[in-house]
Structure 1
């Protein structure tokens, strides 16, 4: 269902491909390293000018890139160093931290972190294992800042206690759930603060009660993405998409009824509570302009990513997909959609733009690992808004305004995207469209 999806419950279906706005893994896919063989080169990711601790590997051969980071108002560091290779990365096919493993010497500077961690990827994968696999939920107190901010489908939450309560409820509903790390894209340093984009496969069974139903006994197999900002052994900001509609669908729960219930609940955030601004798609009331050409020679991965989002979603230039995606791109999207080839990527982009004809998108954050020779792994966090005035994904137009946000992981080889994992807040979008209060 990559080409057209005109039924109201398309969000609960699994085939419609989607382009730039979505992201993550399934157990049977070809690993990113296999699709982009250059995505796991040598080096150690230590920032230029830093001192490698005892036992660290040789200095990087590809110089890291330092660029400005997120826009004002976010908690992300002011500048960030991009690792010039993929040496510090998730080993393909390994997936989950094995308990009681004796880990080696540190491979990068981690001042302020517990001695047990060798690098930032090791930190992210192993704290996830300890909290979710070992069910040491209290370890959240040691690895999240007391006033941490968490963004998900239900808005923004403040403080570690809400995070602990939600984690405990999820583990109680899926006590045997395994969390396999499929990839961690990272950037930064211990001085700047690290940023990480962690994609994980979740496999387990629904044997406990949760918000949407009693135990169904059904198997869950889906994927999530969590983007974190980390400093001194603590996560102080997290953006996470749980692929909620896919989870409900696999458990036999009516996705649309659940979205309507969520939209009518007292904790559902209205547009005024979401803290997002109007996307500046058409400046001064004029036509949207093409994205400017790069300032210098060579391949500028950040420029290409920002141009892609702008040209496709603000200028409606779907031919931009043909220019930057490989003909054989593998695409994975929200609600466990998947596709192959540029036509599937274009199909999801068309669906979104047909559903929300005035939709505009802005890129909120970009960071990456790698280089031109070996390829780049890129994390993109984006947001947008639009009005449901067209036919595409969600049936008859409601005329309601919606807020969208998402995380995309893009894998480049020789300047082309060869694989994409994208998630957006689709369950939340359905709740915005289906809630009973038309003025909210």
Structure 2
């Protein structure tokens, strides 16, 4: 059971910096477990000890330094880098700093597809800041792995706060207050982010703006390819064929210690692909707390199981694969885990998305787990809900 590997690009010169970065990404897809941090000496909690003010204090003694070849010398470690470039770009409004911290050919996956180039990132960031001029990005967690040789992977969970006082792709300002969960998974090397998966809670954004999410999804889908989103989602997502065989059995370990990869894969395969929802009692603590897309908050296994059942009921043939996985921690202190996953399912069941349309949807998301005492105590999941609605409800 291994994460999905991406084929090498034939559009990049073998000896160019971009080729080197892409080759590094391919190597990271098969990283061994020793590339995962075994403690929290470099972590968001350690970084912000003493208050939020010290986020920007690069001289704070408690901020552990790590080798970061090619990065600007002001950054002490990868958490420092992620926190401070985010603050500079979004809150200080130095949006042009993107030119220094993203590669020119950066790949960005968002709600509905794959887009290329930092110019697109600059344009989208200007757009969002115009729509939410008082936007604040509050860091909730940063899970990281890797090093200066193989590149740094980061999973940055953020709460976006602000007020819609400017025009957006969804229409004129509504003056509504916004609170949105977002998880951005990036790969960085030599001071540049060159690969990013951003799970925005776009459906919650539309909802909190006071707009009808379903009608807006139909409207935005009808504007493609002239609209603001990726022109062809189907072409940008690799095919996923589940086949006709019986889903394999993967025993879920009773003890989580130096086997996080095995635990995660077994949990996803057993719950989602074998439809063994009883196994959630093994994976999750009875008092598990879940926070997810479109303001979902569940407490306890019963509520979380109902959510999983509702998704599988709407997409009864869905098969989920783990596409990227990394973690930090140990058995004594617990583990923080980042899981990027995806799948394809046909909308053939009843549920929150309306009458079945029989249309296939590409579904992907990013999940973060807090594991302690051999079970998941907390889960945060953001998935492309607005993109799903566009795919199953848009005109064809």
RMSD: 2.2
Q: Is the CA contact (8 Å cut-off) linking 1:366 and 1:378 kept in structure 2?
A: yes
1:419 equivalenced with 2:353 (yes/no): no
The aligned counterpart of 2:314 is: 355
Q: Cα distance 1:361–1:70, how it changes in 2: closer, same or farther (>3 A)?
A: closer
Q: Mapping of 1:158-307 within 5 angstroms?
A: 158-267=116-225, 268-270=230-232, 272-280=234-242, 282=243, 285-291=244-250, 300-307=259-266
Q: Give, in whole Å, the separation in 2 of the partners of 1:148 and 1:347.
A: 38
Deviation at 1:297, TM superposition (A): 9.7
Secondary structure in structure 2 of the residue aligned to 1:348: helix
Q: Give, in whole Å, the separation in 1 of the partners of 2:375 and 2:169.
A: 42
Deviation at 1:392, TM superposition (A): 2.2
1:73 equivalenced with 2:7 (yes/no): yes
Q: Give, in whole Å, the separation in 1 of the partners of 2:158 and 2:113.
A: 21
1:121 equivalenced with 2:55 (yes/no): no
Higher helix share: 2
Secondary structure in structure 2 of the residue aligned to 1:329: strand
Secondary structure in structure 2 of the residue aligned to 1:370: strand
Deviation at 1:68, TM superposition (A): 7.9
Q: Give, in whole Å, the separation in 2 of the partners of 1:177 and 1:231.
A: 27
Q: Cα distance 1:145–1:243, how it changes in 2: closer, same or farther (>3 A)?
A: same
Q: Is the CA contact (8 Å cut-off) linking 1:70 and 1:77 kept in structure 2?
A: no
The aligned counterpart of 1:334 is: 293
Higher relative contact order (CA 8 A, sep 6+): 1
Q: Cα distance 1:68–1:190, how it changes in 2: closer, same or farther (>3 A)?
A: farther
Q: Mapping of 1:402-417 within 5 angstroms?
A: 402-417=361-376
Deviation at 1:300, TM superposition (A): 1.2
Q: Cα distance 1:369–1:128, how it changes in 2: closer, same or farther (>3 A)?
A: same
Deviation at 1:273, TM superposition (A): 1.3
- Unaligned regions of 5+ residues in structure 2, if any? 9-21
The aligned counterpart of 1:385 is: 344
Q: Give, in whole Å, the separation in 1 of the partners of 2:2 and 2:388.
A: 31
The TM-score, its normalising length taken from structure 2, stands at 0.88
Q: Is the CA contact (8 Å cut-off) linking 2:6 and 2:26 kept in structure 1?
A: no
Deviation at 1:293, TM superposition (A): 6.4
- Structure 1's consecutive aligned runs of 4 or more residues displaced over 6 angstroms after TM superposition are none
The aligned counterpart of 1:135 is: 93
Q: Is the CA contact (8 Å cut-off) linking 2:109 and 2:115 kept in structure 1?
A: yes
The aligned counterpart of 1:84 is: 38
Q: Is the CA contact (8 Å cut-off) linking 1:95 and 1:180 kept in structure 2?
A: no
- Unaligned regions of 5+ residues in structure 1, if any? 1-66
Deviation at 1:253, TM superposition (A): 1.1
Q: Cα distance 1:364–1:242, how it changes in 2: closer, same or farther (>3 A)?
A: same
Secondary structure in structure 2 of the residue aligned to 1:180: strand
Deviation at 1:393, TM superposition (A): 2.6
Deviations 1:81-121 (A, max 9, x none): 00001121112795687556645576111111111111100
Deviates more, 1:83-92 or 1:306-315: 83-92
The aligned counterpart of 2:282 is: 323
Deviation at 1:278, TM superposition (A): 1.9
Q: Cα distance 1:316–1:95, how it changes in 2: closer, same or farther (>3 A)?
A: farther
Q: Is the CA contact (8 Å cut-off) linking 1:77 and 1:192 kept in structure 2?
A: no
Q: Is the CA contact (8 Å cut-off) linking 1:226 and 1:241 kept in structure 2?
A: yes
